Structures are given as structure tokens and as C-alpha cells.
Amino acid sequence: MSSHFNTGMTTSDAAAVAQKLHLSTLNNPDQKDAPSPKDENGSSDTTDEVAAPLQFNDAQLGTVTNHDIRKQIPLEPVPPMTYGKPARPLSRGSIPIATLPSKHIPQAAAGSPRLIIIGDVHGQLKELKTLLQKAEYSAERGDHVIFTGDMINKGPDSAGVVALAMEMGASGVRGNHEEKVLRALLNEEGATTESSSAPEHQKREAEASKSEDVALATGRLLSPEQREWIAKLPVILRLGKIADQESGEWVVVHAGLVPGVPLEDQDETAVMNMRTFMFPGREQARQEVRQDLKDTAAAKKKNTDVSDAAVEAAYEREERILEKNGVARNDIDIAVPTETRDGLPWSEAWNKAQRAHKHKKERMSVVYGHDAKTGLNIQPYSFGLDSSCVRGGQLSALIFEPGRSMIGRHVVKHRIVSTECEKNA
């Protein structure tokens, strides 16, 4: 799989694309005194925010001026993934978004059914049963279970985990390992040309993957009914508002979401695989600053070695000049999701973006798995539940249940429950 979830853009390709994305004034390239862009709170400091990707139109693709801070450079559209558009179709007709039936949302009343969201199980059936017991799961009470994806693969009993999930009437989302298994099965059936729009290099990567044999072995252990159940898991599961929770909507995904991109425009592959965001425009801007410093030193016949500290200081100084002159850097805050650990953790960017919303009802909370190395990662607006069960860590769940506030009022609370796991990978 490519490092970035777009039309196959590698890290070096991202830098090349970023080189074409430079400074522009707000809409009008000749308007030198245009005001700086402001966020919904009236602040003009958007340098460190993950801004909503721009939808460039033809009028904006010409040459723009940048107040002589940089030479005139033609703007070009950014890659499709930058907008959150699908990089490639998923196997077996994936469902991008589904909504959990409201009957499964806990109410602020004694005896209300509970909602139990469980992190990556990876075929660890024994640990799943133990966690359900520890969480006091009750089918009679109407408790509902949601899996954050990666229910299968790696562990000893993927089929058993899926069978139990189906028996419970559980919900879930498609993880990257469900996708790997479905795609391996599809390839085995000879349907490697399932979509003419799928890039050829993506197919070659899937065929060459060292994990495909494992995924295929897992898929062969699943019954046709189990395969079909997995194939119907959505990539994004909307929960809606949960009573007494401070944020607005809650959603469940496997890996993450890009702030500022509507759910319906999120790239499905990225949602199942992302860990961090890369900002190729920022890196390109720093490279240009470094070269400017070297050129200046060379002109003065001085040492052209430039320290990182000097580059950063000059870069920040230029940012202040740009802001003062009302110039919008349309490129530097474009976030490119990546499955690597380089860059800014997506959850950090997500929480910052949610806090920027003035009203809490506009904020969205995400429950996810996928990031076993980071482990249990609970933040105000993101809840990472992959605590590395298959590697001998823990299996964790987020439980929403009725309770009482400090003043005795009926509310819906949430808590984390975990159980120890036997290592199987």
C-alpha cells in the first residue's frame, strides 16, 4: 500500500505536488490588502489548524502574486485524496456510511440498554467472551455491541468471533483487515478486475502483499454467511447524539477521519488505514526558505550551511509577514492522511479542530481502533480502543450506560473496561 491514501501518491510525489501549490491572495490575486481568513471564532490564526480542503475552480488555477515574497507560480489542483474523495473502490460493494438504529442508543433512565463499543479483536474469541462478561453484557436487557473493525485475522479464531457477533446481532465497521480478507477472497475468485477505475499499481500492491496469504487463509475459514455479513459492514457508523454527552454527533470508524471533510466525502481507504497527517505544503515552504537563506549567504560569500533552527525562525517570520499582508497560504494546511507514523497524529488534529467549534453541539466525537502501537488513547473528542490484544496487550471497550450525576440526576455516562490478552501475533 502506498504511504498516502490518494491516487497512489508516494512521499516524494507529495513533495512534487506541493511544489506546485504556493501562495495566493483571497480569491483576487490583485487585491493586496485583503483581510486574512478568519475561523468561526473570528481568529485569523489558522496556521496550525487542519483547514477544510479547498475546492479550486478554473478561475483559481492561473498565476497569482504573493506580494513579492515568492516568485509567481501557477496554482494547480491538489490530488483527489486531499478533498477526501475515494482513491479507489473497495471490494464487494462497500457501504460508506450507515446509521445505528436509535433503539440502541442508551437513555438516561434506570434499566436502559447499554452500548458497548469494542476495539480490535483480531480473532481473539476467548478474550472477547471474557470482556463481555467483565462488561456485564446482557442480551436480555437489550445491550448492543459495536466493533471498531479488525475483528478478524492474526488471531486463532476469526470465524468464532464473527459467529458470536452475528449471534449477538452486533454492529460494526469495516477495518483494514476485513478489507484485506474480502479482497483476497475476491482475487482468488478471479475477480481482480472488479473495477476498471482501480489503479493498476494498487492491484499489484495487493497481489504482492506479504499478508495476502494470511488474509486468504482467514477468509477460507469463514462461511459464506459470515463473509456476507462482513461485506455489509459500513466504513463509517453514525451513532447520532448520545444523551448528556457534551459533544454533538458520535461516529465509529476503524482508523480515523479528516477534519473539515463531510462524512460522505471521506476517503474510505483512508478512514480504514490512517494514523497521521502529512503536510507536504509546509515541508515545501520550509525547503524554499532554506534555499533562500543559502542563496543569501552565498551572495555575501558566507558559509551556506543553514541550521534547522534558522530555517524555522525564518519560516515563522515569513508566516507573520504573510498574515500581516492578508495572504492566505492555501497549500500548507492541506492534510494528506498516511498509514505511517510520520507527521501529526490524526487524533491530535481532530481534537484541535473540534475545540475550534464555538458550540459544543457542533463538535463530533470519534470512536476508533487500528492504532495498536499507541494503545488505548482517550481524548475529549476521540476514543482509541485498540490496546493491542493480539500482541498480548488488552482488549478494551467503551461502555455507554445510564447512571447518576454528582447531584443525583439521571444521565448517560461512559467508561472504559479492559481485559488481558494472550499473545498470538
Angle between helices 200-208 and 176-188 (to 10 degrees): 90
| pLDDT at 424 (0 to 100) | 87
Residue 410, SS3?
strand
The pLDDT value recorded for residue 361 is 87
Residue 399 dihedral angles phi and psi, to the nearest 5°: -115, 125
- Phi, psi at 238, each rounded to 5°: -85, 130
pLDDT at 213: 86
Instruction: Indicate the burial class of 305 (C-beta count within 10 angstroms; 0-12, 13-18, 19 or more).
Output: exposed
| Residue 203, burial from CB neighbour count under 10 angstroms (0-12, 13-18, 19+) | middle
3-state SS of 28-55? CCCCCCCCCCCCCCCCCCCCCCCCCCCC
pLDDT of residue 303: 84
What's the rounded Cα separation, in Å, for the pair 134 and 45? 47
Alpha-carbon 325 to chain mean position: 34
| CA distance linking residue 130 with residue 135, whole number of Å | 9
Mean pLDDT of successive 10-residue stretches along the chain, which has 425 residues: 35 38 31 37 34 30 33 36 43 83 92 96 97 97 97 95 98 95 86 47 53 88 96 96 81 94 90 87 78 86 86 83 66 73 89 89 95 95 97 97 84 94 89
Write out the three cell numbers for 11: 512521499
Q: What is the pLDDT of residue 282?
A: 73
Q: How far apart are CA 137 and CA 399, in angstroms?
A: 10
Residue 12, C-alpha cell as written in the block: 516524494
User: What distance in Å separates the CA atoms of residue 50 and residue 344, rounded to the nearest whole number?
Assistant: 10
**What's the rounded Cα separation, in Å, for the pair 257 and 74?**
30
Residues 6+ apart with CB under 8 A from 256: 270, 271, 274, 275, 337, 346, 347, 350, 366, 368, 370
Contact 371, 386 (CB under 8 A): yes
> What's the pTM value of the predicted model, to 2 decimals?
0.71
Look at residue 345 in the predicted model and tell me its pLDDT.
Answer: 93
Indicate the pairing of strand 234-241 with strand 95-99: parallel
What's the rounded Cα separation, in Å, for the pair 335 and 258?
Answer: 8
Q: Which domains does the chain have, with CATH numbers?
A: 22-77+280-332 (no CATH), 95-175+224-277+337-420 (3.60.21.10)
